[in-house]
Amino acid sequence: AQTVTQSQPEMSVQEAETVTLSCTYDTSENNYYLFWYKQPPSRQMILVIRQEAYKQQNATENRFSVNFQKAAKSFSLKISDSQLGDTAMYFCAQETSGSRLTFGEGTQLTVNP
C-alpha cells in the first residue's frame, strides 16, 4: 500500500521569509506523480504544484518549488517570499494506479505579519 507522511503538523513563518514543508512517501512503482495541494480556511482544495517522478528537474511554480529526492522518497515544498495568503493547510499526495491520490496528514502553515 502507498503511504505518504508529513511529519510537521504545524509550522509558522514570518511574512516575506522562506519556509520548507516536508513530505516522504513509500511506493514500489518506478513511475508516478506527486502533488502538493493547499487548503485555505475557505476549505477549497487547490493544486499548488505537480512533479513527475521520471523527470530529474524539480518543478517550480512562481514562489513555490519542490525538492524531489527520488532515491530518498522525499518531496518537500519550498515557499519563497511567504505571503499572508499562503496561510493554509498543505497536503502532499501521491498518485496511485487508476489516478487515485493518497494524501499525507497535512501541515498547517501560518504566515505571520
Interface positions with other proteins (CB under 8 A): 4, 6, 9, 32-33, 35, 42-45, 47, 50, 52, 91, 95, 98-106
17's CB contacts (< 8 A; 6+ apart) are: 81, 82
What is the nearest approach in angstroms of other proteins to the Cβ of residue 50? Answer: 7
Cell match 504545524: residue? 10
What is the nearest approach in angstroms of other proteins to the Cβ of residue 64? Answer: 14
Using the minimum distance from each CB to other proteins, give the nearer residue, 67 or 96.
Answer: 96
What is the nearest approach in angstroms of other proteins to the Cβ of residue 4? Answer: 8
Using the minimum distance from each CB to other proteins, give the nearer residue, 86 or 95.
Answer: 95
What is the nearest approach in angstroms of other proteins to the Cβ of residue 42? Answer: 8
DSSP state of 98: G
Using the minimum distance from each CB to other proteins, give the nearer residue, 43 or 113.
Answer: 43
For residue 69, give the C-alpha cell: 529526492
